[in-house]
Structure 1
Amino acid sequence: MAYANPTSLVSTEWLQQNMSAPDIRIVDASWYMPAENRDPKAEFAESHIEGAVFFDIDDIADTDIPLPHMVPSPEKFSSRVRKLGLGDGSRIIIYDKSGVRSAARAWWLFKLFGHDDVAILDGGMQKWLDEGRPVSDMPSKPTERHFTARMNNMILREKAQVRRNLETNKEQVLDARSQGRYEGTAPEPREGLRGGRIPGSLNLPFDQLFKTDGTLLAANDLKKAYLEAGIDMNKPVITSCGSGVTACVLAFGLHMLGHRFVSVYDGSWTEWALDEQLPISTGKKK
């Protein structure tokens, strides 16, 4: 079995061979959990793949609401990525150096705003470094490029839609958090947040989609992971997580398998748990 969308994932070897092509744009979308106390922008300045620009998911976001890194307006997204030299006609390759696989969040945002020529670097920065490939500390000087935003709301879900789904059960909800957080037995990283899950949701911790070297599972093993989590590959899926980052990892895996009806719940557990009017489930799923 082969990936259904193989061009959405590129190898480190491929990138090194093609990084000087005129249409290639390289993006570092590293992001860390707050408790890690790491500054991805500062780390990017110290070391990045040559020619890369830094995509800040906390800045390229709707910063007028209290939830972290939520989807920005089309106008804001276009403005920010245009200044990064990312636009129409660009083949965008995204990587990260973070354990939460934040490259998938940036990948999904580009898809959301209608830019389909976007891929993730398999294994990310860690594999690139492990193989001794070159890095740079030189600041990039991108040339501004026009970006046409065409928002695809089919791959985005908001709280009201997920709440309505509790009654209709038209879409499967798949949670990317750890089993402990899903069951409410492990604390949430955000202080004061209720533990548990959206009622009826399934669980597939995002890190189960990767081999020990950090690369994506082969297609057969990838499909097996979703099936073992209880996913019906013929039904629509809403992916969720803590704050909309690793939900995009699950969405990417389904995309690689050719699933056509996948959306991301942007507010994810942070938004759901903060609303005391919304029901939650805890414990092992029956």
Structure 2
Amino acid sequence: MTDPANPLVSTEWLEKNLATPDVRVVDATYYLPVEDGDARAEYEQEHIPEAVFFDIDAIKDDSNSLPHMLPSPEVFSSKVRKLGLGDGTRIVVYDRKGLMSAPRVWWMFRVFGHRDVYVLDGGLPKWKAEQRPLDDHPVLPEERHFTARFDTTRVRDLNKILGNIESKAEQLVDARSAGRFEGRDQEPWPGRQSGRIPGSYNVPYTNLIDSQSGCLKAPDALRRQFEDAGVDLQAPIVTSCGSGITAAALAMALDILGHRDVALYDGSWAEWGLSDKLPIEKGPEASASVSTER
């Protein structure tokens, strides 16, 4: 049995349930523009049996120039139903990096009202290390109806984040690396400034993953990561990152900790860092260059 209160499933559970009629497996591998990787080609070469490929850069809002912004409920429904992902299915999402982009697809399904969605703990690296089955057979899913119910409480836009700098009603937690958060390292998205949204906290998503197993850390260890960064786990939280991908890993970890007042800033730094009229903070060594112009 899957546990709706736990967004993770183990590799052992998935292998035992691959043939279960209502289980659907999804490869949600994604590569940044600066990375050398072709997620779809790699999926075609090998994937978990009967897995379908969820293209994050295709299931998006085509009217928005920002990368992979959340599509409308109608577009999402139309795209996923063709993948055989619909009402009454238990969806298990994985990616080739472990826990990088799979949480984004988990979050998208949750935004559109599908609760029976899970992430494979450890992802494809753990699955392969355990020598579990793989194949390269083309998957031809049977179309299935998907009822999209958009939960607007899970999403934030630029205006909400800008207003929150003044109101401080929600804590903004950034999943990027410390170097990017402090403005020391160059952004992988072309044309973006370096730095962070004023008042935000930093919990790099990689800090949530056990370096030995590749799985998400235990709840107590997850809790320490947020608390050590200064985050109040009793107060509302908005997660952010480079382009809305790894922010979902923070949202998933918070879900495991029982935190239900969590939203995601979909545009994230790909949107914020593009403008020279938005306030930006940097580390102490760069404090003189902080922009306060809106």
Q: Give the TM interval when normalised to the shorter protein.
A: over 0.9
* Aligned position for 1:109: 108
* Aligned position for 1:167: 166
Q: Which runs of 5+ in 1 are unaligned?
A: none
CA deviation after TM superposition for structure 1 residue 191, in Å? 2.5
CA deviation after TM superposition for structure 1 residue 66, in Å? 1.3
2:235 equivalent to 1:220: no
> TM-score with structure 1 length normalisation?
0.96
Counterpart CA distance in 1 for 2:229 and 2:243 is 21
Counterpart CA distance in 2 for 1:91 and 1:100 is 19
Q: Give the 3-state SS of the residue equivalent to 1:7 in structure 2.
A: coil
Are residues 5 and 24 of structure 1, via their aligned partners in 2, closer, same or farther at CA, if it must alter by over 3 Å? closer
Q: Which has the higher contact order (CA 8 A, sep 6+)?
A: 1
CA deviation after TM superposition for structure 1 residue 99, in Å? 6.0
For residues 37-52 of structure 1, the aligned pairs below 5 Å read 37-52=36-51
For residues 231-246 of structure 1, the aligned pairs below 5 Å read 231-246=231-246
Counterpart CA distance in 2 for 1:22 and 1:56 is 23
> TM-score with structure 2 length normalisation?
0.94
* Aligned position for 1:83: 82
* Aligned position for 2:155: 156
Q: Give the 3-state SS of the residue equivalent to 1:264 in structure 2.
A: strand
Is the 1:5–1:258 Cα contact (8 Å) retained in structure 2? no
Q: Give the 3-state SS of the residue equivalent to 1:188 in structure 2.
A: coil
Is the 2:8–2:119 Cα contact (8 Å) retained in structure 1? yes
Are residues 234 and 7 of structure 1, via their aligned partners in 2, closer, same or farther at CA, if it must alter by over 3 Å? closer
CA deviation after TM superposition for structure 1 residue 275, in Å? 2.0
Residue-by-residue CA offset, 1:52-87 (whole Å, 9 max, x unaligned)? 000000000012221100000111100000000000
Is the 1:176–1:203 Cα contact (8 Å) retained in structure 2? yes
* Aligned position for 1:181: 180
Counterpart CA distance in 2 for 1:271 and 1:70 is 10
* Aligned position for 2:250: 250
Counterpart CA distance in 2 for 1:277 and 1:100 is 34
CA deviation after TM superposition for structure 1 residue 94, in Å? 0.3
Identity of aligned residues (%): 52
* Aligned position for 1:204: 203
CA deviation after TM superposition for structure 1 residue 276, in Å? 1.8
* Aligned position for 2:140: 141
Is the 2:22–2:88 Cα contact (8 Å) retained in structure 1? yes
Is the 1:173–1:202 Cα contact (8 Å) retained in structure 2? yes
Counterpart CA distance in 2 for 1:268 and 1:134 is 36
Of 232-241 and 271-280, deviating more is 271-280
Q: Give the 3-state SS of the residue equivalent to 1:93 in structure 2.
A: strand
Residue type of the partner of 1:269?
Answer: W
Q: Which runs of 5+ in 2 are unaligned?
A: 288-294
Residue-by-residue CA offset, 1:218-250 (whole Å, 9 max, x unaligned)? 111111111111110110000000000000010
* Aligned position for 1:119: 118
RMSD: 1.5
2:15 equivalent to 1:16: yes
Q: Give the 3-state SS of the residue equivalent to 1:81 in structure 2.
A: helix
Is the 1:202–1:230 Cα contact (8 Å) retained in structure 2? yes
Is the 2:29–2:94 Cα contact (8 Å) retained in structure 1? yes
Is the 2:237–2:261 Cα contact (8 Å) retained in structure 1? yes
Counterpart CA distance in 1 for 2:6 and 2:120 is 11
Of 54-63 and 188-197, deviating more is 188-197
Is the 1:188–1:194 Cα contact (8 Å) retained in structure 2? yes
Q: Give the 3-state SS of the residue equivalent to 2:173 in structure 1.
A: strand
CA deviation after TM superposition for structure 1 residue 284, in Å? 4.4
Counterpart CA distance in 2 for 1:284 and 1:249 is 28
Counterpart CA distance in 2 for 1:210 and 1:7 is 16
CA deviation after TM superposition for structure 1 residue 35, in Å? 1.3
* Aligned position for 2:265: 265
2:70 equivalent to 1:68: no
Provide runs of 4+ in structure 1 moved above 2 Å.
Answer: 4-7
Residue-by-residue CA offset, 1:260-280 (whole Å, 9 max, x unaligned)? 100000000110111222100
Is the 1:166–1:200 Cα contact (8 Å) retained in structure 2? yes
